Structure 1
Amino acid sequence: MFFLFGLGTRQTLLGPGETRTCPRCHNTTQWSRMQEARQLTVFFIPVARWKRRRFEACGICGSTVEA
């Protein structure tokens, strides 16, 4: 019997976020609003998702801030 499954993290772009100054790279830019979730897939179909979180990410260095 052969099962094909996977475990990973999925990030989804929700749209533009606020314009702010990054605490890491000190650039002022518009951040991206993102959602991230851990998921289990069976035969490339998502079966379960957990640890969902929403955050904003800097477009230059990738630093994140919880939304």
Structure 2
Amino acid sequence: MKSGQPIKDASHLYEVERRAQHAARPGFRIMELQLSPTQKVPWHTHSNISDTFYVLEGQMRLFL
């Protein structure tokens, strides 16, 4: 892969307690991630993707 090229699936680059895909079709998917208090998703950008977050327990800090 060339430097600076987008990665289609970066899930292998960070560890979470649990990862589940609930629905998928071209251009749409619903993923569930469970993170421990010490885990984090690394800084990244999206060009054509919207993220929606639901915190069911605890707190989440989001940097934009």
What's the TM-score, normalizing by structure 2? 0.25
Task: From the two aligned structures, give the one with the greater helix fraction.
Answer: 2
Which structure ranks higher in relative contact order (CA pairs < 8 Å, sequence separation ≥ 6)? 1
What's the TM-score, normalizing by structure 1? 0.24
